[in-house]
Amino acid sequence: MTTTTETRKFEAEVAQVLHLVTHSLYSHKEIFLRELISNASDACDKLRFESIANPDLLAGDSELHIDVSWDKAARTVTIRDTGIGMHRDDVVANIGTIASSGTRRFLEAMSGEQKADARLIGQFGVGFYSAFVVADRVTVLTRHAGAAPEAGVKWDSDGRGEYSLEDVTLPERGTTVVLHLKADEDEFLDGWKLRSLVRKYSDHVAFPIRMPKDAPSPVEDEDDAKADAAPEWETANDASALWTKPKSEISDAEYQNFYKSLGHDFNDAAAWTHNRVEGSQSFTTLLYLPSQPPFDLMMGGRDERKGLKLYIKRVFVMDAAEELLPNYLRFVRGVVDADDLPLNVSRELLQHNRQLDRIKGACVKRVLDLIEKLARDEPEKFTAFYKAFGNTLKEGIVEDASNRERIAKLLRFASTKGEGASQTVSLDEYVGRMPVGQDTIWYITADGHKAAAGSPQLEAFRAKDIEVLLMFDRIDEWMLGSLHEYAGKSMKNVAKGELPLDEADKAKQEEAATAAAPLVERIKSLLGERVGDVRVSARLTDSPSCLALADYEMAPHLARLLREAGQDVPDNKPTLEINPQHALLQRIESEADDAKATDLATLLLEQAEIAAGAPLPDPAAFVQRMNRVLLGG
């Protein structure tokens, strides 16, 4: 057969990753074995599923397994699987190129505080390259199931920017990865060490991981991928799906090890729930809450690992996070194994399958139950979890109307009764300490905790000792568009609409408005088109002015963010509320020079806009105006 050999350069980002792996990483080097075994397991899963529709892919060899061997003389470690294998184009796409959007984030993370930590590799879909942590050369031999022996492919690289591709004859399907170890990596040529790593990270893998029983297997010849001798193999892992075992037979350590391999995470899971549902439709769920967010949480996830894996009678079908959990729970990791979904179902049919809807509903309930239990029984763990995933959870207020009240119960907010942004309260705690007669949950939104806590719109509430929730995450304003009440109490922004006043306060407010009517008219005249309205405020006790919003008007800080993101936002002329008792208002009232009065009135509006998070329309004019007032003073 005529072989075709070519040398190619890695794409730029792969070259960067390889450079970092080769020259910078030194901790947790053992991750390479977990990643390569995980890839091999995925390849076996894919073949098992595809062979249901096309049994010929097994070609008389239905045994799916993963072999790990080593050769001290050749200084190699070999991982071989009998899975789906790859065509030549697959090799180029999967090894020579990284299409994952997480790669850039990986590179950014590696240039930061964690730049010397190999544990990051698994989180970005670049697990294959962890081989170069311990190897100065890697060889891959692969042949796709169903392809002719002559369709084998050999990939070889020293990780320095180039790789070679060669057509070779391979008698068996699957993929073999040969690691030529660096001079100082002798520990991975020890059978006991390799066995311990298999048990530590990959014991749950549902395919046998075989290792030579007595003596290490020589490395397979890279030209024809045949072993010089046939070793006697023994299975080094449990080779059973963890989730199929009774909970009483699984230790916490086993649950955590399974999570770490499943989620490619070195941190322990915060919590998990393992359940078996029996009946007309039977299925098993094993769901985990991570303790730290993956780097790609907001990026849509890795192509091959999207949080939840769907199995049917232990046969892997798909990474089906979108079908099994709503988007706001995308941080959940785990597996779902159903007994009676049709095996030939397509992704489109899955989305409209009633049985799958029931499973999805059960998954959502289990996850919310788990988060509630964490909040109730382990508040410190919950606080850390909420810091990592609270904003993602808030998306559920908009996306999941049927569980809105349950999700709202889990949310936490800073308040005017707390000390700083880190001291938070639940909505239940807020309602529990509302005084008799208060029927509204008051809140304010801003672009930061200090901006919220220092807002002039809170002054009347502080004077009356009414607690206000401080909401300053960017998602809050959007979320509150769907959260209008909680526990029968309406939720209202202190900056929107007119404040409800008792009879005494209403009379006092009307008297102040009547007395200040000439001043209000003068300010309206001085500001002209800059404002929609000017009125005497019931909110202010110390500050001279603030902006007031209509009930359905967008907060200024959110409108600014949307404009910066290129969104069209309607221009609303602000309503300016004034405090006639403030010295600045009295100065405007007594100022005979219209030019000076205009400067003062405009500054009054601009400081209210700044406090509300709105951008100044003309910062240069603001500076000049401020200088004139200061010099005049």
Structural contact between residues 494 and 446, judged by C-beta atoms closer than 8 angstroms = no
Spatial CA neighbour of 103 closest among 15, 9, 8: 15
Asked if pLDDT for residue 603 goes beyond 90, the answer is yes
Tell me, yes or no, whether 455 and 595 share the same domain.
Answer: no
Q: Where residue 555 sits, what CATH number does that domain have?
A: 1.20.120.790
Residue 584 scores a pLDDT above 50: yes
Residues 258 and 312 in one domain: yes
Q: What is the pLDDT of residues 406-422, one digit of tens each?
A: 999 999 999 999 888 78
Same domain for 584 and 488, yes or no, is no
More confident residue, 565 or 466: 466
Residues 525-579: tens digit of each pLDDT: 999 999 999 999 999 999 999 999 888 788 887 777 777 777 777 778 889 999 9
Per residue in 95-121, pLDDT tens?
755 434 344 454 455 555 444 444 444
Pair 311, 274: CB distance under 8 Å:
no
pLDDT at 322: 72
Residue 237 lies in a domain: no
Residue 521 lies in a domain: yes
Domain endpoint, select from 494, 511, 527 = 494
CB distance 314 to 286 below 8 Å: no
Assess whether 483 and 625 both reside in one domain: no
Q: What is the pLDDT of residue 41?
A: 87
Which one of 443, 474, 494 terminates a domain?
A: 494
Q: What is the pTM of this model?
A: 0.70
Average pLDDT over residues 155-171: 90
HSE-up (13 A, CA, CB side) for residue 572: 19
Residues 555 and 590 in one domain: yes
Contact 176, 225 (CB under 8 A): yes
Which of 26-30, 42-46, 133-137, 555-559 has the lowest average pLDDT?
A: 26-30
Taking only the tens place, the pLDDT of each residue in 344-354 is: 444 445 555 67
In sign, the C-alpha dihedral spanning 56, 59, 65, 69 is negative
Residue 330: CB atoms within 10 A of its CB come to 22
Q: Mean of the per-residue pLDDT values for the chain?
A: 84
Owner of token pair 């406090």: 611
Residue 461, domain CATH: 3.40.50.11260
User: Which residues contact residue 504 at a Cβ distance below 8 angstroms, ignoring those fewer than 6 apart?
Assistant: none
The highest-confidence range among 45-49, 262-266, 307-311, 497-501, by mean pLDDT, is 45-49
- Residue 282 predicted with pLDDT over 80: yes
| Domain contains 236 | no
Spatial distance between the Cα atoms of 311 and 317, rounded to a whole number of angstroms: 5
Whose tokens are 């998070």? That residue is 613
CB 138 within 8 A of CB 222: no
CA 205 to chain centroid: 25
Confidence of residue 25 (pLDDT cuts 50, 70, 90): low
The answer to whether residue 629 sits within a structural domain is: yes
Can you give the pLDDT at residue 263?
66
For 61-65, 135-139, 144-148, 514-518, which range has the lowest pLDDT when averaged over its residues? 61-65
Q: Per mean pLDDT, which range of 174-183, 406-415, 556-565, 607-616 is the poorest?
A: 556-565
Cβ atoms of residues 604 and 534 within 8 Å = no
Mean pLDDT of 11-17: 67
pLDDT at 312 over 80: no
Q: Which value, in Å, is the radius of gyration of the alpha carbons in the chain?
A: 32
Domain coverage including residue 387: 244-404
| Segment 549-553 long-range contacts (CB within 8 Å, at least 24 positions apart) | 549/493, 549/495, 549/496, 549/497, 549/575, 550/496, 550/497, 550/575, 551/496, 551/497, 553/496
Q: Flag whether pLDDT at 138 surpasses 50.
A: yes
CB contact burial 509-521 (16+ within 10 A = b; e otherwise):
beebeeebeebbe
Query: Region 278-284: what's the mean pLDDT?
Result: 86
Both 76 and 19 in a single domain? yes
Residue 486: left (phi > 0), alpha (psi -120 to 50), or beta?
beta
Count Cα atoms within 13 angstroms, Cβ side, for 41. 27
Q: What is the pLDDT of residues 242-256, one digit of tens each?
A: 898 899 999 999 999
SS3 170: coil
H/E stretch holding 377? helix 354-377
Q: What is the pLDDT of residue 125?
A: 43
Same domain, 482 and 562: no
Q: Work out how many domains the chain is built from and give that number.
A: 4
Distance CA 296, CA 6 (A): 34
Residue 285 resides in a domain: yes
**Assigned domain for 234 exists:** no
Residue predicted with more confidence, 486 or 109: 486
| Among 421, 430, 506, 419, residue whose Cα is nearest residue 468 | 430
The per-residue pLDDT for range 43-96, each reduced to its tens digit, is 898 898 888 888 999 987 889 999 999 999 999 999 999 999 999 988 887 775
391 and 325 housed in the same domain: yes
Q: Per-residue confidence at 165, pLDDT binned at 50, 70, 90?
A: very high
What CATH number is given to the structural domain containing 299? Answer: 3.30.230.80
Helix (H, G, I), strand (E, B) or coil at 515: helix
Instruction: Please indicate, yes or no, whether residues 468 and 614 belong to a single structural domain of this protein.
Output: no
Residues 295 and 195 in one domain: no
Which of 341, 375, 404 is a domain's end point?
Answer: 404
Is 375 domain-assigned? yes
pLDDT, residue 126, reads 53
Residues 358 and 281 in one domain: yes
| pLDDT at residue 111 in the model | 55
CATH value at residue 81: 3.30.565.10
| Axis crossing angle, helix 517-527 with helix 503-515, rounded to the nearest 10 | 60
Identify whether residues 35 and 91 lie together within a single domain: yes
What letter would DSSP give residue 227? Answer: -
Flag whether 238 is in a domain.
no
Nearest to 365 by CA among 399, 305, 407, 397: 407
